[in-house]
Structure 1
Amino acid sequence: MTTMLLDTTKGIVEFTYKGIGPTVLLLKGGHSTRDTDLSHSSLIYEGFSLLTVSRPGYDYTEVSTGKTPEDFADTIVEILDHLEIELVSVIAISAAGPTALALATRHPDRVSKIVMEAAMTAPWEENMKQRAKLLFGPAERMVWGSLRKMLKLFPDLVMKQLLSEMTTENAEEYLESLSPNDRRFVYDMLATSQSGKGFSLDLDHSVSDISHVQAPILGMYSQKDKSVQYTNALLLKSLAPHCEIYEVNADSHLIWIGKGAREVWDKRLEFLHQ
Structure 2
Amino acid sequence: MFGTSDRRAARARAQDGTVLAYQCEGTGRPLVLLAGQANNHHWWDGVRADFHPTHTTITVDYRGSGDSDKPDEHYSTRDFADDVIAVLDHLDISRADVYGTSMGGRVAQWLAIRHPDRVGRLVLGCTSPGGPKAVERDASARRELARADASAVRESLLSMMFNPEWLASNPGPHTVLGDSEMPGYARRRHLVASNEHNAWEALERIEAPTLVLHGDADRLTPCANVPLLESRIPNVRSQVFPGARHAYFQECRPEASTVVAEFLAD
1:156-194 Cα offsets, whole Å, 9 max, x none, are x954x3344457xxxxxx42x226553326x44448556
Number of the residue aligned with 1:154 = none
Q: Aligned pair 1:48/2:50, yes or no?
A: no
In 2, distance between residues paired with 1:256 and 1:222?
A: 9
In 1, distance between residues paired with 2:99 and 2:239?
A: 15
In 2, distance between residues paired with 1:72 and 1:65?
A: 13
Q: TM-score, normalised by structure 2?
A: 0.79
Q: Aligned pair 1:162/2:169, yes or no?
A: no
Q: Aligned pair 1:36/2:28, yes or no?
A: no
Number of the residue aligned with 1:268 = 260
Distance 1:8 1:244, change over 3 A: same
- Structure 2 residues without counterparts, runs of 5 or longer: 1-6
Q: Would the aligned equivalents of 1:91 and 1:117 in 2 still touch at CA under 8 Å? A: yes
In 2, distance between residues paired with 1:240 and 1:210?
A: 6
| Count of residues in correspondence between the two structures | 248
Matched ranges for 1:224-239 at <5 A: 224-239=217-232
Q: Aligned pair 1:246/2:254, yes or no?
A: no
The Cα shift of 1:7 comes to: 2.3
Q: TM-score, normalised by structure 1?
A: 0.77
Secondary structure of the residue that 2:41 maps to in structure 1?
Answer: coil
In 2, distance between residues paired with 1:107 and 1:22?
A: 18
Q: Would the aligned equivalents of 1:43 and 1:49 in 2 still touch at CA under 8 Å? A: no
Q: Would the aligned equivalents of 1:221 and 1:248 in 2 still touch at CA under 8 Å? A: yes
Secondary structure of the residue that 2:43 maps to in structure 1?
Answer: coil
In 1, distance between residues paired with 2:137 and 2:154?
A: 25
Residue 12 of structure 2 is aligned with which of 6, 27, 39? 6
Residue 256 of structure 1 is aligned with which of 227, 231, 249? 249
Secondary structure of the residue that 2:120 maps to in structure 1?
Answer: strand
In 2, distance between residues paired with 1:7 and 1:42?
A: 26
Q: Aligned-pair RMSD on alpha carbons?
A: 3.2
Q: Aligned pair 1:178/2:166, yes or no?
A: yes
- Structure 1 residues without counterparts, runs of 5 or longer: 151-156, 168-173
Matched letter for residue 68 of structure 1: S
The Cα shift of 1:221 comes to: 0.8
In 1, distance between residues paired with 2:208 and 2:72?
A: 28
Matched letter for residue 162 of structure 1: L
Residue 92 of structure 1 is aligned with which of 90, 100, 115? 100
Q: Structure 1 stretch 215-224 or stretch 247-256: which is displaced more?
A: 247-256
Number of the residue aligned with 1:153 = none
Distance 1:64 1:111, change over 3 A: farther
In 1, distance between residues paired with 2:144 and 2:154?
A: 17
